[in-house]
Amino acid sequence: MSGAYSLRRRLLAWLLISTAVIGVIALADTYREAVKTANTVSDRVLAGSALAIAERVVVSEDGALEVDIPYVALEMLTSAAQDRVFYRVDGPPGTFITGYQNLPSIDMKGEASAYADAEFRGEPIRIAVLERSASTGINSVPFVVTVAETTIARRQLAQTILLRSALRLAVMILGAATIVWIAVTFSLRPLYRLGDAISERSPDDLHPIRQSVPSEVEGLVETVNSFMVRLQSALDALRHFSGNASHQLRTPLAIIRTQLALSARASTLEEAQAAARKGDEAVAHAERILKQLLMMAKIDAAGSSQRALPEPLNLTSLAQEITADYVPKAGEADVDLGFEGEGQVFVAAEPLLIGELLRNLIENALAYAGKGAEVTVRVASLAGVARLEVEDNGPGIPPEKRQIARQRFARGGETDAPGMGLGLPIVEEIASLFAGKVDLSDGRDGKGLKVSVTFSPV
């Protein structure tokens, strides 16, 4: 199958791409938050250290500032073993008191304390600065404590947080992918079962599929079922046709063979000609049978494929044309064939099929009404209802036999007219294709037969 693709792979691709995109955004956010948290925590420690140092700044007797930095103050500074701590204490602007003299200082912007990132001895550091003043009792001497720490620990903390989040995300994505894989496998199972159920069927088993399927594929199953119904009726029509054809054609074919054999053995020209004539009649009979059977099969097929209603058809002119075609034949049969109908009457129907319907009715009338009969083809419209009638004044069909005459292969008894009892059923089926109704009733003055077909308004 061209363009075949895997539903499972498609779903997985969608899932992986979307979770990857969302995951990367989440990770970036997590990293930012981690860095911020690590900084806040470490900044607080730095500030504490600066405060501890500031508390140790005193004014000596000679008025100079002195610092006695306790070991513990530095000890508590180092939050991690690898990090190094630097400090520096400055007196009034320009006077360095103690610590690392080249430790960068930062702009306080008028605040009492500040933090900044900087670089010292080629390493990134975080600096905390605290401004205080020491009192001599008479006046106060301002000083600044600067404490700095390398940022190895806080960077590690942020990285650890990031790594853990990334791991968690990867596990989640993998988990979701596995779940999708399993879920798809389970969800597709009914489809596989459906496929198996269909492939296990025998070729002529066209029963509707009864397998329970997910609602998403119910439409598909319905379509397949309606297709099977159509296939079934097409097959039925075909079987009907071939069965009927072989059965119905057997008699005329046997006659043809007999007549051919007779003509081969004929001693006189007259005998041969008579045999040929009988053979020819049998061929005509066979032709008619084939034509009727084909028409029946065509209707069977048309009936099963529900088509849209055809274009409106001018019933009056169609019926008039067909009646005219039969005038010579009526003359030969010594029947007076006439047409009644004025104006235009439209029906939503297919002209070839309606033509076939009318031909069957006219042929019946010509065949069964008898010599000297009158046959009238009539088109009328009453309150929007179109009506097509064929009326004769022959022997007609007794009311109790009318229902039977409408069945396939039903023929009246004493008749030598060629036929097979398909005419009226064909009329009936064509009419029903176009929502028409067929009625058999007495002809004028209770004589003969009147067949009327009524169509609902266009």
Ligand X SMILES: Nc1ncnc2c1ncn2[C@@H]1O[C@H](COP(=O)(O)OP(=O)(O)OP(=O)(O)O)[C@@H](O)[C@H]1O
CB of 249 to Mg ion, least distance (A): 17
**CB nearer Mg ion, residue 130 or residue 365:** 365
Q: Rounded to the nearest whole angstrom, what is the least distance from the CB of residue 375 to ligand X in the complex? A: 8
User: Would you count residue 49 as binding Mg ion (CB under 5 A)?
Assistant: no
Q: Which does 295 bind (CB under 5 to 8 A by kind): ligand X, Mg ion, none?
A: none
- Residue number closest to ligand X, CB atom: 412
In the set 165, 292, 323, 364, which binds Mg ion (CB under 5 A)? 364
Q: Minimal distance in Å, beta carbon 441 to ligand X? A: 12
Cβ(175)–Cβ(186) under 8 Å? no
Cα–Cα separations (whole angstroms), residue 340 to 242, 323, 337, 371, 439 = 39, 10, 10, 21, 19
One-letter identity of residue 318: L
How would you class 281 by CB atoms within 10 Å of its CB: exposed for 0-12, middle for 13-18, buried for 19 or more? middle
DSSP string, 239-286: HHHHHHHHHHHHHHHHHHHHHHHHHHH-SSHHHHHHHHHHHHHHHHHH
279 binding partner (options ligand X, Mg ion, none; Cβ < 5 to 8 Å by kind): none
Q: How far apart are CA 126 and CA 143, in angstroms?
A: 20
Measured in degrees and rounded to the nearest 5, phi and psi for residue 206 equal: -115, 30
Q: Which does 339 bind (CB under 5 to 8 A by kind): Mg ion, ligand X, none?
A: none
CB of 289 vs Mg ion, minimal distance in Å: 11
Q: At what angle do helices 269-304 and 218-265 cross, to 10 degrees?
A: 180
347 interface partner picked from Mg ion, ligand X, none, CB below 5 to 8 A per type:
none
Q: Which is nearer to ligand X, 83 or 389 (CB)?
A: 389
Cβ 396 vs Cβ 322: under 8 Å:
no
The Cα–Cα gap between 287 and 304 comes to 26
**Nearest distance from C-beta of residue 437 to Mg ion, angstroms:** 19
- The nearer residue to Mg ion, 150 or 364, going by C-beta atoms, is 364
Least distance from C-beta 383 to Mg ion, angstroms?
31
Closer Cβ to ligand X, 275 or 424, answer by number: 424
**Least distance between ligand X and beta carbon 331 (Å):** 18
With beta carbons less than 8 A apart as the criterion, state whether 443 and 399 touch: no
Residues that bind ligand X (CB under 6 A): 288, 292, 360, 364-365, 368-369, 392, 394-397, 405, 410-412, 415, 419-424, 449
Binding mask of the shown chain, residues 153 to 192, with x at each position contacting Mg ion by CB under 5 A: ----------------------------------------
458 near 381, Cβ under 8 Å?
no
* Choices 90-98, 193-201, 274-282, 414-422; region in contact with Mg ion by CB under 5 A: 414-422
Closest Cα partner for 438 from 392, 389, 394? 389
Catalog residues that contact Mg ion under the rule CB under 5 A: 364, 419, 423
